[in-house]
């Protein structure tokens, strides 16, 4: 669409001739971008309030109620100043930030060199910002947005634009694809945040704003459970690919007694649920002595019942009590299954004996008798304990020899 700015745009020479004594701020009267004082960098008047949903258009939403058709209005019947404001508003409603970007693109050139094929001289971003009453950084953000759009063929290149010239502008909803209101977006960190925001379906400016104000993020997390839940999910997702963050979180938990106890409790519940789930999925049980055998049908059915109750719990419900109940019920059935099977019962006791013998052997082998000879560590109690152990071993050996002769 071609835009036409109602006020005449004269050259710098013509303005100086008309008002040689006028201050620089009054030399150029921007048509609808005239802040009386430098604006804070965080305020962007041309950007609408952001929402969590992708923005479809910068135009105001039409009312759903039926409206009467507008009557034809003649500009001659109204104050010229009001007419100019209405026309400028219409330009912005159709083109959004492109109307501002055109002013920058056709008037700004590094070094203030003359535009090609014309005597009109462009100005630097610093000079343009001084005339507009804003910062050079803001001017350059509009400049860069136009530059990217020109590379994509949406708008003309700077070189062919002449101060005061009007050109066809893209629609308003395309503007936010090229313009960013924050300098941090150009950094490596800012680009990563912008990419993540786009992947989540939100505008990058909102994510950049949050990243630039960690204190506000902290306050929201502390005050709002929903924000805290979102932060928890984001941290868990990041820790999957960030070993350093995993280490930091583990260290922080280990140093906090309450968190350490909570982690231990959850780990215990997870182990118990895993024990029940293994029976359901594999159809096998692990006896107290460590044997793995096929699970009886009754035991497997009971494990499935408990597991289904656990799986139906909401994320907000504590699973610890349910896990303990399921574990105790299944362990009781396992012990009963062992006692009701004579062959399994004998094998279970044999396995327990071997396990105990292995542990005792390992402990005795670790005794360093050389220390007894080299150091004065002898006490009478040591000898008494070893003599009692020797007697117990002798009794055990006799029992085993007797059993071997009768078998």
27 and 111 part of one domain: yes
Are 18 and 155 members of one domain? yes
pLDDT for position 277? 87
Q: What percent of the chain has pLDDT over 90?
A: 2
User: Quick one: 172 and 44 in the same domain?
Assistant: yes
> Using alpha carbons only, how large is the chain's radius of gyration in Å?
40
> Is residue 189 assigned to a domain?
yes
Identify the residue whose tokens are 């135009």: 59
Q: Which two tokens stand for residue 240?
A: 């999957």
The answer to whether residues 12 and 38 touch, using CB atoms and an 8 Å cutoff, is: no
Ranking 40-44, 118-122, 281-285, 322-326 by mean pLDDT, the lowest is 40-44
pTM over 0.75: no
Burial of residue 325 (CB within 10 Å: 0-12, 13-18, 19+) is middle
One domain, residues 387 and 320: no
- Do 18 and 167 reside in the same domain of the chain? yes
Point out the least confidently predicted range of 106-115, 192-201, 251-260, 321-330: 106-115
Q: Same domain, yes or no, for 35 and 146? A: yes
Q: Given pLDDT bands bounded at 50, 70 and 90, which one contains residue 6?
A: very low
Decide if 219 is inside a domain: yes
Mean pLDDT of 311-327: 77
Residue 262 in any domain: the answer is: yes
Q: What confidence tier does 34 reach under pLDDT thresholds 50, 70, 90?
A: very low
Domain boundary among 207, 224, 254: 254
pLDDT on residue 66:
47
Last residue of a domain, one of 204, 227, 254: 254
Name the band, by pLDDT with cuts 50, 70 and 90, for residue 188: low
More confident residue, 116 or 297: 297
| 4-19: average pLDDT | 39
| pLDDT band at residue 155 under the 50/70/90 scheme | very high
Do both 277 and 261 map to the same domain?
yes
64 in any annotated domain: no
Asked whether residue 129 falls in the same domain as residue 213, the answer is no
Whether 290 and 351 have beta carbons less than 8 Å apart is answered as yes
Percent of the chain whose predicted confidence (pLDDT) is above 70: 72
Q: With respect to residue 247, please indicate whether it lies within any of the assigned structural domains.
A: yes
3-state secondary structure of 285: strand
d(CA 334, CA 299): 7
Q: Give every CB contact of residue 48 below 8 A, 6+ residues apart in sequence.
A: 55, 58
What pLDDT, on the 0 to 100 scale, is given for residue 156? Answer: 92
Q: Is 286 exposed, middle or buried (0-12, 13-18, 19+ CB in 10 A)?
A: middle
pLDDT of residue 41: 42
* Shared domain check, 403 and 263: no
pLDDT at site 182: 52
- Report the pLDDT value the prediction gives residue 181, as an integer from 0 to 100: 56
Question: Based on the domain organization, do 198 and 171 belong to the same domain?
Answer: no
Q: Bigger pLDDT: 171 or 93?
A: 171
* Domain with 204 in it: 185-254
Same structural domain, 25 and 174? yes
| Domain assignment of residue 222, yes or no | yes
**pLDDT, tens digit, 9 for 90 and up, residues 357-385:** 888 888 887 776 666 666 677 777 888 88
Q: Both 90 and 220 in a single domain?
A: no
Percent of the chain that is helix, strand, coil (3-state, to 5) = 65, 5, 35
Q: Is residue 352 part of a domain?
A: no
For 277-303, what is the mean pLDDT?
83
Average pLDDT over residues 332-346: 84
Rounded to whole angstroms, the Cα distance separating 349 from 289 reads 8
Report how many domains make up the chain.
4
- Final residue belonging to a domain, choices 144, 179, 214: 179
Q: What average pLDDT is seen over the chain?
A: 74
Residue 359 lies in a domain: no
Average of per-residue pLDDT across 323-343: 84
Cα separation, 298 vs 305, in Å, equals: 11
The rounded distance, in Å, linking the Cα atoms of 104 and 141 is 10
Token output for 100:
């501002």
pLDDT of residue 373: 64
């Amino acid at each position: 669409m071609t835009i036409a700015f109602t006020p005449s745009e004269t050259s710098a020479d013509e303005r100086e001739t008309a008002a040689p004594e006028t201050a620089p701020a009054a030399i150029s009267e921007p048509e609808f971008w005239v802040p009386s004082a430098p604006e804070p960098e965080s305020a962007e008047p041309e950007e609408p309030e952001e929402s969590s949903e992708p923005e479809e258009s910068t135009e105001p939403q039409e009312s759903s109620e039926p409206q009467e058709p507008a009557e034809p209005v003649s500009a001659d019947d109204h104050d010229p100043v009001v007419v100019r404001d209405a026309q400028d508003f219409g330009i912005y409603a159709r083109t959004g930030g492109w109307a501002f970007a055109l002013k920058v693109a056709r008037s700004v050139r590094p070094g203030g060199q003359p535009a090609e094929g014309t005597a009109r001289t462009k100005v630097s971003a610093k000079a343009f910002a001084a005339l507009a009453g804003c910062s050079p950084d803001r001017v350059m953000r509009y400049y860069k947005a136009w530059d990217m759009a020109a590379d994509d063929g949406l708008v003309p290149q700077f070189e062919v634009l002449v101060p005061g010239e009007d050109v066809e502008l893209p629609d308003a909803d395309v503007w936010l694809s090229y313009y960013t209101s924050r300098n941090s977006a150009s950094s490596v960190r800012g680009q990563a945040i912008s990419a993540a925001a786009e992947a989540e379906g939100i505008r990058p400016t909102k994510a950049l704003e949050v990243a630039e104000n960690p204190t506000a993020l902290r306050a929201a997390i502390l005050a709002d459970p929903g924000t805290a839940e979102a932060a928890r999910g984001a941290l868990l997702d990041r820790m999957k690919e960030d070993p350093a963050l995993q280490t930091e979180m583990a260290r922080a938990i280990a140093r906090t007694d309450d968190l350490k106890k909570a982690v231990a409790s959850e780990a215990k519940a997870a182990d118990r649920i895993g024990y029940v789930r293994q029976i359901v999925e594999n159809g096998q049980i692990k006896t107290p002595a460590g044997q793995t055998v096929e699970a009886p049908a009754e035991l497997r059915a009971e494990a499935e019942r408990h597991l289904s109750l656990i799986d139906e719990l909401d994320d907000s419900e504590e699973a610890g009590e349910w896990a303990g109940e399921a574990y105790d019920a299944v362990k009781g059935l396992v012990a009963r299954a062992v006692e009701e099977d004579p062959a399994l019962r004998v094998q279970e006791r044999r396995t327990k004996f071997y396990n105990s013998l292995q542990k005792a052997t390992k402990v005795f082998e670790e005794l360093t008798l050389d220390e007894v000879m080299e150091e004065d560590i002898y006490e009478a109690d040591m000898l008494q304990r070893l003599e009692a152990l020797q007697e117990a071993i002798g009794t055990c050996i006799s029992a085993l020899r007797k059993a071997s002769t009768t078998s």
